[in-house]
Structure 1
Amino acid sequence: MKGNIDERATLLALYIIEHRATVRSAAGAFGVSKSTVHKDVTTRLERLNPQLYRQVQQVLEANKAERHLRGGAATRLKYSQG
């Protein structure tokens, strides 16, 4: 997704909030790298729209707190099928 960086940051933020998406899944949906998503929703969004930034940070913090559970589930699934 090329074009207006500020618009992309806002669209990424709305996607993350609406879908409770991870940075990785948002990157896949928009066809950009994880680094780009992270930069957009942290650095750029804080300057553009502080209220939206706070909402995204809540989702990202929740994802961070849950990631060890998702990793464990993926490992369980991998070895239960083998």
Structure 2
Amino acid sequence: MKGNIEERACQLALYIIENRTTVRAAAQKFGISKSTVHKDLSERLPAFNQPLYLQ
């Protein structure tokens, strides 16, 4: 899943929240690595969407 990193980070966060799933499951669903999911959620998401990050 390439493209807008901010959009991807939001989609990942929403997927994990709504499905109460793991980083590993989200990575598999979106076809990206666990490292990418972790970086998107822990470093990128707080920079542009703090409320979603706090959920």
Q: Do the two structures share a fold, i.e. TM-score over 0.5?
A: yes
Pick the TM interval, shorter chain.
over 0.9
- Give the alignment's TM-score, normalised by structure 2: 0.96
Letter in 1 for 2:48: L
How many residues are matched? 55
Whether 1:4 aligns to 2:4 is yes
Structure-2 residue corresponding to 1:51: 51
Extract unaligned runs of 5+ from structure 2: none
Identity in percent? 67
Tell me how large the CA RMSD over aligned residues is. 0.5
Letter in 2 for 1:39: K
Extract unaligned runs of 5+ from structure 1: 56-82
Letter in 1 for 2:37: V
- Give the alignment's TM-score, normalised by structure 1: 0.66
Question: Secondary structure of the equivalent of 2:39?
Answer: helix
Higher helix share: 1
